[in-house]
Structure 1
Amino acid sequence: MADQSPLKPFYSVLILAFVCSALVAGAVVGLQPLQEANRQLDRKKNILAAAGLYREDQPIDRLFAGVETRIVDLATGRYVPDDQLDPEAYNQLKAALSTDLGRSLDAAEDPARLRRLEKYSLVYLVKQGETVEQYILPVRGKGLWSTMFAYVAVDADLNRIRGVAFYDHGETPGLGGEIENSRWQQLWQGKRIYADSGEIAIRVVKGKAATDGAQAAYEIDGLSGASLTTQGVDRLLHFWFGDDGFKPFFRQLRQEETSNG
């Protein structure tokens, strides 16, 4: 019997590795549509949860039928026409990293520690007929360990929070991770964002929020044992409801309401 080539085992392993790689790559490509569909369902679920509209016994797509997706120019506060940017295809995190659709933030204008900001943001309108009842806004900012992502639902008066849903973060379980706790999120309901002067007044405080007096309308309990996460949530609120966030959008909506009234 002829001697076997010493390279034969190597070739066998190489062929096996190639076949396995091809199978894994095929599975990844084949599962992409399903993964994307699940991501979209999860996004809709969290938007509905922030608005207080999510129901476990109802199909998410049916519940989301009353939500309109738009894109707003953060600098001007005006809606962007759908034929300019498609809301269904727009990825604002990728936009923030691009040179055309994003910009760098310096430290003085970046309390949320984003480093880069997209020029356009998605917004979600909960409508009853033609009347907007809530605006759901995507927000994010750095906590202790991670970037925290959330949706904040704001009443049609543009100053009262209907609800919040933190849905992605890497904060410490049981401490900063309590931003996902529904009991803590319920504390946000009814809190006011701006003082009568127009200044941002909402705060996530260290310890317990005031229960009476003028500050009670603006304060949210901090997270026990998670002061840096608490500070991160407070900073992201001040950024996204400020001039670089959604304040120009609110200003534009009020101007339109005044001119139409």
Structure 2
Amino acid sequence: MSSNKETFGKTIGFVFVVCLVCAALVSISAVSLKPLQTANKLLDKQTKILETAGLLEAAGKDIVGTYNQRVEAKMIDLASGKYVEGDVNMFEERADARDPAKSTKPENDIAGLNRRADNAVVYFVKDEQGKVETIVLPIVGAGLWNLMYGFVGLEADLNTVKSVIYSEHSETPGLGAEVLNPKWKALWPGKKMFDEQNNVAIKIVKGGAKAGDVHGVDGLSGATLTSNGVENTLRFWLGEEGYGPFITNYRAGGLN
């Protein structure tokens, strides 16, 4: 009996030691890999911003160098549309959106966010002479299965579309996932986000937009809910609860 208890005790002790060693190894790995994970995450973001601005091909392998040379990031308070201090590289929209102290519940939550971070980072992409040619705005909104994250690139008039690029989604392959299809992305350049009265006018048209419709983009075949999600996301973020105040201030020269 005593022998059995001793064997059982040794087994429990051995399992405990193994668990302790494994936990220590996982903890050490997590700490040592964090800087690399942070750097890779930042590189991925910089890559998407250059793609949105149409500079990815020109950048080649020098993503960081091109980004640092051509892109200026500034943090804004969405409610006022004015610049605020903050670490633009470490800013985490998702973390802020989950924090009631750093986020707001939208009154008209057509993007399906639940909560919207109070701040955002805007990216000013400049030409070789230093003149702003593209402004990249991060966007997030509900798709069919989950939130979709992406960027919209606008020309300096903050109306004419340069591109709409999604960087993360959980949509169905062959349907909603067609937001990544180059043919669909190619429909966006030149479209206008606002009408002559400065109302958000962009729309995703089921069955296809009519020729000459500067506000209409063809819907995704078989993915009505995803298409609606894209439209609602853009309408939200370009509206008054999104980048609307910033757009107004920038156009008026109040941020220069």
How far apart are 1:192 and its partner, in Å?
A: 0.4
1:57 maps to which residue?
60
Q: For residues 93 and 11 of structure 1, what CA distance do their matches in structure 2 show?
A: 42
1:203 paired to 2:200:
no
- 2:19 corresponds, among 14, 17, 23, to 17
- 1:39 corresponds, among 38, 41, 44, to 41
Per the alignment, in what secondary structure is the counterpart of residue 239 of structure 2? coil
Q: For residues 40 and 31 of structure 1, what CA distance do their matches in structure 2 show?
A: 14
Task: Decide whether the 8 Å contact of 1:96 with 1:116 is kept in 2.
Answer: yes
1:127 maps to which residue?
126
How far apart are 1:140 and its partner, in Å?
A: 0.6
Equivalenced residues, count: 250
Range with bigger deviation, 128-137 or 231-240:
128-137
Q: Flag as ranges the 4+ runs of structure 1 deviating above 3 A.
A: none
Q: For residues 9 and 86 of structure 1, what CA distance do their matches in structure 2 show?
A: 50
2:95 maps to which residue?
94
Per the alignment, in what secondary structure is the counterpart of residue 256 of structure 1? coil
Per the alignment, in what secondary structure is the counterpart of residue 21 of structure 1? helix
Letter in 2 for 1:236: T
Q: For residues 96 and 105 of structure 2, what CA distance do their matches in structure 1 show?
A: 12
1:162 paired to 2:123:
no
Letter in 2 for 1:41: L
How far apart are 1:99 and its partner, in Å?
A: 3.0
Task: Decide whether the 8 Å contact of 1:51 with 1:164 is kept in 2.
Answer: no
Q: For residues 204 and 231 of structure 2, what CA distance do their matches in structure 1 show?
A: 5
2:192 maps to which residue?
192
Identity %: 38
Task: Decide whether the 8 Å contact of 1:141 with 1:147 is kept in 2.
Answer: yes
CA distance 1:57–1:131, shift in 2 (3 Å): closer
For 1:82-135, what per-residue CA distance to the aligned partner results, in whole angstroms no more than 9, with x for missing partners? Answer: xx32222322222222233211224xx110011111221100000134421110
Per the alignment, in what secondary structure is the counterpart of residue 34 of structure 2? helix
Unpaired segments ≥5 residues, structure 1: none
Task: Decide whether the 8 Å contact of 2:72 with 2:125 is kept in 1.
Answer: yes
- 1:221 corresponds, among 218, 222, 228, to 218
The aligned runs of 1:70-81 (5 Å cut-off) are: 70-80=74-84
- Taking structure 2 as the reference length, what is the TM-score of the superposition? 0.92
Letter in 2 for 1:115: N
Q: CA RMSD in A?
A: 1.8
- Taking structure 1 as the reference length, what is the TM-score of the superposition? 0.90
